[in-house]
Chain A
Amino acid sequence: MRDIDPREITPEHLFLSRRSFITGTAAIAAGALLAGCGLGQSKQPPGTGGTAGTPGSVTSPTDELGDKLTSYQDVTHYNNFYEFTMSKEGVAEAAKDFKTSPWTVKVDGLVQQPRTFAMEEIYRMFPDEERIYRMRCVEAWSMVIPWLGSPLNKILTEVKPTAEAKYVRFEALLDPKQMPGQKDDFGVSWPYVEGLRLDEAMHDLTLLSTGLYGKRLLPQNGAPLRLVVPWKYGFKSIKSIVRISLVAERPVSYWTGYAPREYGFYANVNPNVDHPRWSQKSERRIGESGRRDTLMFNGYEDEVAQLYKGMDLTRDF
């Protein structure tokens, strides 16, 4: 266990971006109104659709551990998004005509003020900040991605969860016409569903993402709105969300429904708890050769370990 310097908890580039937020409030407010893009005059207008495009600007070339960002090309062309295709290299092409506007997100369930948000409202009400997170896929590869988005807790606070709310259930779009992969199911019916415990959902690291690399999300990355939970395996970070519900019962995640023995509800990145069929001790970082050791909670142990105090992570995997 390393000692924690408070500066380590919030990465430096976030401090910097927050500072620029404060100093440039007027410009940002104007920018937000004009572009609906939130933070930063440096941000380019949101890119839309397609596989094409170049990255926008980012605040740091590395994450807080000094790991380099994965290239924009790889982040946008190596994706798991079975709703489109099971080929990771094929998602960008298969999803290029995916219609992400107009788009609304219903936030309901055990809340005092259920509400349906249009994406434009989300962009306006929950300004983007940049978060550079490692993403560790359950298939033992990983990336470092500069996300744009807003902590999920902001939107949850907005709708005021009631005391009975214990979990958050997320639901992705169901539209087999646009998402050909939804014509087949693997024994679990679409749409993709994910869930978090309320305290996990309220954690500051849990991001509701609208963009990456300074631009709006492309379809292959889960446009227009996706979850990012950096200390959990990638499949928890549900894409193309249409509904967020506060619930009392633990939701059954898509992959848990498929194979409960292999994919647990928590799905915390943990090198000491293997997938029943393969090791989780190491990973391949996309863009690097060789293997890296997988870090406990994907390197966010200091921030999130207390959420699981007293739990047997071998059982609650």
Chain B
Amino acid sequence: MRRDRLGLAARVAANVGALLPLGVLLFVVAADRLSANPIEDVTRRLGTDALLMLTLSLAVTPAVALITRTNPYVGRLSRVTPRGEAAVPTPDRSPAPGPSRRVAAAIWPLRRTFGLFAFLYAALHLFVFTVVDYGSRPSLLADAVAKKPYALAGLTTFILLIPLAVTSTATWQRRLGRAWERLHMLVYPAAGLVVLHFLWAAKVVTTNRLIWAASLAGLLLVRLPLWLLAARSAGWRQRRREN
């Protein structure tokens, strides 16, 4: 089946691509090409990698909306595939052309792929910060985290990602049903907090960091009209019928 082959290709490409930053990092460490402040360098690289993965994960839904010209939030819960994943939404009126639907179906599972890699890089980032950097000095770590908003925002982001990583399997998705969708909305506050985290951590707000912030903000904002339309077409109409 062509569709499955496309989906497989997308997953392989995404996994390989998502492992690349780790490969680069291992190479840089092995080749002794880190900066003069190596722990800071590794921490910063892992943080950036986590940020990239989170951004990619959040880009999937808008991309699918764009490709299929449908609202992924409409009726998604009613269509769950045998594997437990929410199916790619079918357009209500004008049927989308075949190829774009196949592409959308192929990239739809990448939310999970990139989401899990975001969790992996965030976990490594936190590991380097807590164990490699402050491991020998736990009292300093407590001081660095407790009083510092950037560290608290980062830690909270990671904590928010934990249940999402744990419940990322098809089994959990089926088991939780509608609650799974609600639970995974935690990715939105996580994205907001991570922006605060990296803006507060730097001495000055650079253009580079503003681009990251704008990308994440943009990916959240494009969802607003989709949510509003979905809410109107589903919930409100249904409530009116019930009344």
Contacts and interface: CB of A to CB of B under 8 A. Distances in A.
B204 interface: yes
Interface stretch (B46-54, B135-143, B233-241): B135-143
B140 A281 contact: yes
Interface stretch (A172-180, A199-207, A244-252, A285-293): A285-293
B148 A279 contact: yes
Interface string A108-144: 0000000000000000000000000000001101000
A281 B143 contact: yes
Nearest to A255: B203
Interface string A168-193: 00000000000000001010000000
B6 interface: no
Interface residues of A, number: 25
Contacts, number: 60
Nearest to A82: B204
Nearest to B132: A289
B143 to A, nearest CB: 5
Interface in B189-242: 200-201, 203-207
B53 to A, nearest CB: 23
Contacts of A287: 36
A225 to B, nearest CB: 24
Contacts of B35: 78, 88-89
Given A86-B206, A88-B35, A290-B136, A277 B150 contact: yes
Contacts of B206: 86
Contacts of B39: 284, 289
Nearest to A287: B36
A274 interface: yes
B140 A282 contact: yes
Contacts of B140: 279, 281-282, 291
A158 interface: no
Interface in B15-45: 35-40
Given A282-B140, A290-B136, A74 B36 contact: yes
B144 A278 contact: yes
A278 B137 contact: no
Given A139-B203, A278-B144, A290-B136, A284 B37 contact: yes
B37 A141 contact: yes
Interface residues of B, number: 25
B144 to A, nearest CB: 5
Contacts of A291: 133-134, 136-137, 140
Contacts of B143: 279, 281
A212 B26 CA distance: 34
> Which residue, of B137, B140, B203, has the highest number of chain A Cβ atoms within 10 A?
B203
B149 interface: yes
Contacts of A98: none
B5 interface: no
Nearest to A138: B203
B2 interface: no
B37 to A, nearest CB: 5
A243 interface: no
Nearest to B134: A291
A252 to B, nearest CB: 17
A74 B41 CA distance: 14
A88 B207 CA distance: 16
Contacts of A89: 35-36
B36 to A, nearest CB: 4
A258 interface: yes
B147 interface: yes
A286 B36 contact: yes
Interface in A30-82: 73-74, 77-78
Contacts of A282: 137, 140, 144
Nearest to A75: B36
> Which residue, of B134, B148, B151, has the highest number of chain A Cβ atoms within 10 A?
B148
Given A86-B206, A282-B140, A291-B134, A277 B201 contact: yes
B29 to A, nearest CB: 13
B93 to A, nearest CB: 49
Interface of B: 35-40, 133-134, 136-137, 140, 143-144, 147-151, 200-201, 203-207
30 contacts: A78-B35, A88-B35, A88-B37, A138-B203, A139-B203, A141-B37, A141-B40, A186-B204, A186-B205, A258-B204, A274-B148, A277-B149, A277-B201, A278-B144, A278-B148, A278-B201, A279-B140, A279-B143, A279-B147, A279-B148, A281-B143, A281-B144, A282-B144, A284-B39, A284-B133, A286-B37, A289-B38, A290-B137, A291-B133, A291-B134
Interface of A: 73-74, 77-78, 86, 88-89, 138-139, 141, 184, 186, 258, 274, 277-279, 281-282, 284, 286-287, 289-291
Given A277-B201, A279-B143, 18 more contacts: A77-B36, A86-B204, A86-B206, A88-B35, A88-B37, A89-B36, A141-B40, A184-B207, A186-B204, A274-B148, A277-B149, A278-B148, A278-B150, A279-B147, A281-B143, A281-B144, A282-B140, A284-B39
